[in-house]
Amino acid sequence: MQRYKEELLKRSSDIPYYNFTTQWSVKTLRQDKITWSRLSNKVKFCLLNKEKTTTEPFIIKRNVSLFYLLGVLNSDLITKYIECSVPKRNGNSKDFRLRFIEQIPIPSPDTVRQEELAARIADTAEIIHYANKREPGMKVDSLMKQINEAVYE
């Protein structure tokens, strides 16, 4: 743990370095990832680049685009699926643990049509991601509608 202390201290000033080393390897932390708030009343997924670190759960998907995965996870269909399958905790909050998120049946595109849909979802999710970085809280309803339509196809 001490071996990576200096490097991990550079990553975040508000999170103790040992929180990272006890849960994940440094190699894993150096990858782009999708993360979410584990305890919440609604799930929302976001992309963190390799320079960012989190103590929340995260996914690193290697066989599909992270933007494709981000778009599908934030779609209305998957949001409803997650909300129905994740148990409630105290009050209205839910515990969106990694084990529930990993069980979501997201297909890897294996036909030309599916690859086209996946590319459309990934491109739109990427536009939303960078638009929100430039202008947080920006209205992206029409873009999310495009993702929802592609997910339903």
Q: What is the pLDDT of residues 39-60, one digit of tens each?
A: 888 888 988 887 776 767 777 7
| 68 pLDDT higher than 90 | yes
The pTM of the whole model exceeds 0.75: yes
Measured between alpha carbons, how far is residue 12 from residues 6, 8, 35, 55 in Å? 11, 7, 16, 11
Residue partners of 138: CB distance under 8 A and separation at least 6: 131, 132
Is residue 28 scored above 70 in pLDDT? no
pLDDT of 132 higher than 70: yes
